[in-house]
Amino acid sequence: MSDAPERILIKGNEAVAFGAVDAGCRCYFGYPITPQNEIPEAMSRLLPEIGGCYVQAESEVGAASMLLGACASGVPSMTSSSGCGISLMQEALSYMTGSMLPAVLVNMARGGPGLGDIGPSQGDYFQAVKGGGHGDHRNIVLAPATAQECYDFMFRAFALAFTYANPVMVLGDAVVGQIKEPVRRTPPPDALAPERLAELAAPWRVEGRGRRGPGAAPRLVKSVYLAEGTLAARNRQLRDKYEAMRAEARWIAQDTDDADLVVVAYGSIARAVRSAIRALRAQGAAVGLFRPITLYPFPDEGLRALAAARPGRRFLVVEQNLGQMVEDVRLALFGPAGRGAEVLFHGLMPGLLADAQTLEEPVRLALAGKEIRS
C-alpha cells in the first residue's frame, strides 16, 4: 500500500460538501435546485454528525438570510444553489458585502435566462463576477474544473472569505457538479485552520457582549450608513479591500511559451479545450491554454504578461455562453501592440456537453486568423 492518502470516487457536488466540512464549515442553509442537490443532501448527513447545523430553508431568500446570521456569528457557513436560486440570494449577498461578512456561496450553474435548463452553462459569469448584488458590491469568484478542485477550492473559499471579511462565490456548472472523479480528501496548502478562521472573526462577530467580559461594549454588524459622509467612508474602506483582493488573482497557463494562439477558458470548458489543444499540438499547432482560477479578481496581469512576451500573439476565448468573460479578456488586453492583443471569441450553447474534437476546428481557425462561426 502506498502512503498517499486514499482517493474516493465522488461527484463534484459531494466534493464541495466534503471540502467545506473539512475546511471547518459548520452551518449550511439551502434550498433544493438541480444540478446541485448532492450538496445539501451530503450536508444534511455530514453536519449533524459533527455537531454542525443543516437547515433546509423555505426559499433561497431565506437560506441566504440565514447565512447572513450565521456569518455574523463568525461561524464558517455556506449555501449553495444554481442560477435562478442565486438570483434570489443577491439581496443577502449585497448586505453581506456591505456588512463585511465571510459568506461562502456555491453556484453549480445551469442554463438560463429564466428557468432555462438543468444542463451545464457558463451563462452566470456576469451574475457572479459583475452582478451579485446592488450597490458597490464585489465578491471573489473561484472557478473549479474538477471534483478535486471542488474539494480544494472550498478551503480557499473559506480562507479568502475570512481573510477579507467578504463573500466568496465558487462558480461551477452542471458538469463540474455532476462529474464523478477520484478525490484526495487532504487539505490543500492554502487552507487556513478552523482555529485561524475563528481568530479572524473574533474582533467583529456578534455573540452576546457578556462573552467578551463584564462591561464589554455591544457590537453592531450592519450595512446602513445614513449620516452624511459615513457611506462614503465605508465605501472607501470597501474600495481599499477590493484593491487588496487583487493580490489573490490566480490562473494556470499551459503550453503558452511557444503559442501563437492562447485559448482562454475556465471551468469544465477549460478541460475540453485542454484536450483539443493536446490533439492540435500533436499535429504541430502552436497553441496554449490560459485558465483563470479566480474570475474575480480577474487575472489580467497574467494575460498582459502573455501578450507582452510574444507580440502579435492572438487570444481566443471559449465559453459556454454568448460571450461574457470575453469582455474581461478584451479589457485586460486592450491597448497598443506590445501591450494589447487581438481577442477572438467562440461560444458554446448551454445544455450540451462540450466535445474536445469539435473545439479543434474553431481553435485552428483562430490560429489562422480566420472568422469563427459559433
Partner 1 sequence: MNNPCNALPEALRPREGESLVFDAPAAQVDRPTHYCPGCHHGIAHRLVAEVLDELDATDRAVLVASVGCSAFSYDYFAVDALEAQHGRACAVATGVRRANPDSVVFTYQGDGDMAAIGLAESVHAANRGELITAIFINNTVYGMTGGQTAPTTLIGQITTTSPAGRRLRGEGGPLRMTELMAGLDGVAYAERCALDSVRHVRAAKKALRNAFEVQIRGLGFGFVELLSGCPTNWHMTPQAANRRIAEEMIPVFPLGTAKNLLDK
Question: Which residues are at the interface with partner 1 (CB under 8 A)?
Answer: 26-27, 29, 53, 55, 57-59, 61-63, 65-75, 77, 91-92, 95, 99, 206-211, 214-224
Alpha helices in 81-185 (DSSP H): 83-98, 125-129, 147-164, 174-178
The answer to whether 49 and 26 are in contact (CB under 8 A) is: no
If the CB atoms of residues 51 and 113 are measured against partner 1, the closer one turns out to be: 51
Closest CA to 170 of 205, 146, 201, 198: 146
| Residue 111 Cβ vs partner 1, minimum distance, rounded to whole Å | 27
Report in angstroms how near the CB of residue 74 gets to partner 1 at its nearest: 8
Cβ nearer to partner 1, comparing 29 with 266: 29
Q: Under DSSP, is residue 46 helix (H, G, I), strand (E, B) or coil? A: helix
Q: How many residues does the chain have?
A: 374
CB of 215 to partner 1, least distance (A): 4
Considering the complex, state which of residue 12 and residue 52 has its C-beta at the smaller distance from partner 1.
52
Nearest approach in angstroms of CB 124 to partner 1 is: 22
Contact (CB, 8 A) for 188 and 57: no
- Least Å from the CB of residue 287 to partner 1: 48
Measure CA 329 to chain center.
Answer: 17
How far is it, in rounded angstroms, from Cα 328 to Cα 296? 10
Between 65 and 121, CB nearer to partner 1: 65
Nearer CB in complex with partner 1: 208/335:
208
Query: H-helix or E-strand containing 109?
Result: strand 104-109
State the nearest-atom distance from the C-beta of 29 to partner 1, in Å.
7
Nearer to partner 1, 189 or 213 (CB): 213
Residue with cell 485561524: 196
Q: Which is nearer to partner 1, 96 or 265 (CB)?
A: 96
What are the contacts of 135-139 at 24+ separation with CB within 8 A? 135/94, 135/97, 135/98, 136/235, 136/238, 136/239, 137/93, 137/94, 137/97, 137/98, 138/97, 138/166, 138/238, 138/242, 138/245, 138/296, 139/93, 139/97, 139/166, 139/167, 139/168, 139/169, 139/296
Q: How far is the CB of 224 from partner 1 (least distance, A)?
A: 6
